[in-house]
Amino acid sequence: MKKTLLAATLATQLLTQLHAGGDIEPVEMNEPEMMEIEAAESKFYVVASGMYMFGDTVEHEGLLLDGDKDFGFGIDLGYRIGNGFAVEYDFTYGSNTVTEGSEEAEAIYYTSAIDLVYTYEMTETIGLFGKVGYEYEWETIDEYNIDGTDHDFVFGAGVEIAMNETYKFVAEYEHSLIESPHGDSIFAGVMINF
């Protein structure tokens, strides 16, 4: 009986102490806030690339000229204006062999364009872009006394792959509405953010 009385007294005292203590609040833990810091991409960039021209057959100043495939290079200077958009100034140089009948001649092309570019970031390292612009082309084919300019719209699409925060690999396909023996072009090069 003494054991039962002692157990009842202890249980009553324990319940009284728990009830008297009121609500037990959970312990608050202060955890430091994790801030995600992203390096902002530079607004200015330059792209240096090699160019491959597919060649085309066109009627030009009364001649039917057949342009061969050949190479050149291009430089793009860009400024990002936000929300995926950028403005670019492009310059390209290329030359190829053109034939008219059995006669061959060397053609030289300089083009200069202003483009509006939109890039869709698929992942942190891969972006797809499209561009539309207006270009001027200076064409010289001395053997046929062709030395003139032309201008029209140019369209492009491509991919950029980030290698690190400064460099990206860029590949692009470009189509111009200017009818010329150089035809459409593809570019592959490196973008440098600065």
All domains of the chain in start order, with CATH: 44-193 (2.40.160.20)
Mean per-residue pLDDT for 143-158? 95
Give the distance from CA 138 to its chain's centroid. 27
Q: How far apart are CA 75 and CA 133, in angstroms?
A: 15
Question: And the tokens for 193?
Answer: 């953010």
Q: pLDDT tens, 78-97?
A: 999 999 999 999 999 999 99
Query: Nearest 5°: phi and psi at 40?
Result: -70, 135
Q: What pLDDT does 60 receive? A: 82
Q: How far apart are CA 46 and CA 150, in angstroms?
A: 26
Which of the two residues, 116 and 21, has the higher pLDDT score? 116
Please say whether the beta carbons of 130 and 118 come within 8 A. yes
Question: And the tokens for 189?
Answer: 């090069």
Give the distance from CA 47 to its chain's centroid. 10
Q: Which amino acid is at 17?
A: Q
3 state SS for 87-98:
EEEEEEEEEEEE
| Parallel, antiparallel or unpaired: strands 63-67 and 57-60 | antiparallel
Q: How many CB atoms lie within 10 A of CB 88?
A: 19
Q: pLDDT tens, 18-63?
A: 555 555 556 566 666 655 545 567 899 999 999 999 999 999 878 8
Contacts of residue 194, Cβ cutoff 8 Å, sequence gap at least 6: 42, 44, 45, 46, 166
CA 141, 177, 79, 158 torsion: positive or negative? negative
Q: What pLDDT does 32 receive? A: 61
Residue for token digits 């728990």?
A: 18
Q: Where are the beta strands (DSSP E) in the chain?
A: 44-53, 57-60, 63-67, 70-82, 85-100, 103-121, 126-141, 146-162, 167-176, 185-193
